[in-house]
Amino acid sequence: MRIIPAIDIIDGKCVRLSKGDYDTKKIYNEHPLEVAKEFEAHGITHLHLVDLDGAKSKHIVNHKVLEQIASQTNLKIDFGGGLKTDEDLKIAFNSGASQITGGSIAVKDQDTFLGWIETYGAEKIILGADALHEKVAVSGWQEDSKEDLIPFIQAYQQKGIVFVICTDISKDGMLQGPSFELYERILNETSKGADSRSINLIASGGISTFDELPKLAELGCEGTIIGKAIYENRISLKQLEDYILSK
């Protein structure tokens, strides 16, 4: 299972929110590049970079931070937050993103999102399936949609999506443990049917202790995104380094 630390950006700074609430913003470092380099020094190879300003303003904002990290580390970066147009995507990839995550766009403008899969390939486009009470949330989690989570994932699975990040918003930033049962159901439901392409499910939200990681791997999660647990020293980078080396 891939270990994917998260860096969330507001005003060019590394922050964390609780349950996606911008009023809970806590700044952890004013220099995201320093954080990324520290991750890399401990054997981390992947990074989840979220443009929270972009998510709020509905267009890419912090691409300079992406460019800085991509050009000064070897991290493979998946970038999301506010990507709405073909131009946003060009900027993200030109700035060094290895993959992009589309969430709101996949709900609100399916044709554009499917066009991205066709243009860039399914390996480059991640479906962001973030949900509260199993309803997909959009616009930086500021809005609920009427989309039920698992059918939403299944529909895109049939259209070629292979990478899915699922965040249970009720768990995000709360350090109370991830949604094991939800992830298990998603993996079970998306593995049914001979014509189903298996998905790479990336768990996100609520990771609080190192012991949760092997459980997520056992369920079949392909990756896990870890945010506040690292910044609050609940999980050490040394623990993650040892886990990576042991695989």
**Catalytic positions, written as ranges:** 8, 130
> CA–CA separation, 186 vs 93, rounded Å?
29
Q: Of 122, 116, 127, 194, which is closest to residue 155 (Cα–Cα)?
A: 127
Q: Give yes or no for a contact between 223 and 202, defined as CB atoms under 8 angstroms apart.
A: yes
Phi (first) and psi of residue 140, to 5 degrees: 60, 30
Contacts of 170 (CB under 8 A, 6+ apart): 19, 132, 133
Helical packing angle, 86-94 and 63-72, nearest 10°: 30
Q: Cα(179)–Cα(204) distance, rounded to whole angstroms?
A: 9
Query: Which string of DSSP letters, residue by residue, matches 63-120?
Result: HHHHHHHHHHS--EEEEESS--SHHHHHHHHHTT-SEEEESHHHHH-HHHHHHHHHHH
